[in-house]
């Protein structure tokens, strides 16, 4: 199974993002725009990044009552986005409503269910009243997402192999928490893996931010990760 690279454009301003995106044009296909940049610059920034030739993954992690999430999906559907996230913890009714809105307004948009944030581990889940281990909670929410009609999940790379065994073969698995083998620190991610290991486990896409954004040559860093994926 092939695995592709998504850049997490986690920078504070469009001015900081601009030279990075210019250097990366032609080197990678996907860019993830998160809540910070979307809140700061709105839909026009999504159009700007897409206009540079990138496929956009809009990572807003929608989580609200079913009707509100469905209306949000409807509002976002005209944007040039290829992926959009929502929290599976919102429940089956919410996910089914989002799926119905997506099918009606943008059939090509891939809705991704976020299971357990990669910044959380079992201890963090316990703090909010979830007594299950992180892997068990991911399995439960992943199955709920699949049963609700979602065809993509965001999960830790450490749970990919498990999900591959339990979910339909066509489920797209997008994994943050990726650090190249040369990176010693994992920053705020608690459940991490190298690109090659994530690809071998069955990730469809890996999401990488700081190792590319902070590199002296972002294009070279992206090419190195893509080469690691190709050799996995």
CB 27 within 8 A of CB 6: no
- Per-residue pLDDT of 81-127, as tens digits, reads 999 999 999 999 999 999 999 999 999 999 999 999 878 889 999 99
pTM metric for this prediction: 0.92
Strand partners, 58: 33, 84
Place of tokens 């409807």: 74
Please return the burial class of 151, using the count of CB atoms within 10 Å of its CB with bins 0-12, 13-18 and 19+. Answer: middle
Closest CA to 20 of 223, 225, 227, 215: 215
Length of the chain: 232
CB 171 within 8 A of CB 163: yes
Separation CA 6–CA 28 (nearest Å): 8
Tokens of 90: 């919102």
Q: What is the mean pLDDT of the chain?
A: 92
- Per-residue pLDDT of 136-171, as tens digits, reads 999 999 999 999 999 999 998 889 999 999 999 999
- Per-residue pLDDT of 167-197, as tens digits, reads 999 999 999 888 776 664 445 545 468 898 9
- DSSP letter (8 states) at residue 139: H
Tokens of 229: 């994926």
Could you give the residue ranges of the DSSP H alpha helices within the chain? 14-24, 35-41, 43-51, 66-76, 92-105, 122-127, 134-147, 160-166, 195-201, 210-213, 218-230
Tokens of 125: 């889940």
Separation CA 126–CA 9 (nearest Å): 30
Separation CA 178–CA 183 (nearest Å): 10
* Count of CB atoms situated within 10 Å of the CB of 210: 17
3-state secondary structure of 26: coil
Q: What are the structural domains of the chain?
A: 4-230 (3.20.20.70)
* Count of CB atoms situated within 10 Å of the CB of 17: 22
| Active-site residue, from 32, 61, 104, 214 | 61
* Position 1 confidence tier, pLDDT thresholds 50, 70, 90: low
| Catalytic site includes residue 190 | no
**pLDDT score of 203 more than 90:** yes
Looking only at Cα atoms, what is the longest distance across the chain? 46
């Amino acid at each position: 199974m092939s695995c592709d690279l998504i850049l997490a454009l986690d920078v504070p301003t469009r001015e900081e993002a601009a030279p990075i995106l210019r250097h990366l044009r032609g080197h990678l296909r996907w860019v993830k725009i998160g809540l910070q940049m979307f809140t700061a610059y709105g839909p026009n920034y999504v159009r700007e990044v897409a206009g540079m030739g990138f496929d956009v993954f809009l990572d807003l992690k929608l989580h609200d009552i079913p009707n509100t999430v469905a209306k949000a999906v409807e509002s976002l559907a005209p944007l040039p986005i290829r992926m959009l996230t929502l929290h599976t913890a919102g429940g089956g009714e919410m996910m089914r409503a989002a799926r119905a809105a997506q099918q009606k307004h943008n059939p090509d948009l891939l809705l991704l269910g976020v299971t357990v944030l990669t910044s959380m581990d079992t201890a963090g889940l316990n703090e909010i009243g979830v007594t299950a281990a992180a892997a068990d909670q991911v399995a439960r929410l992943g199955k709920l997402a699949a049963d609700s009609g979602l065809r993509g999940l965001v999960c830790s790379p450490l749970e990919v192999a498990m999900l591959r065994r339990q979910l339909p073969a066509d489920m797209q698995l997008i994994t943050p928490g990726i650090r190249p083998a040369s990176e010693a620190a994992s920053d705020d991610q608690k459940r991490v893996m190298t690109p090659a290991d994530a690809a071998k486990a069955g990730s469809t896409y890996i999401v990488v931010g700081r190792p590319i954004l902070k590199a002296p040559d972002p294009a070279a860093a992206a090419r190195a990760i893509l080469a690691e994926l190709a050799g996995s």
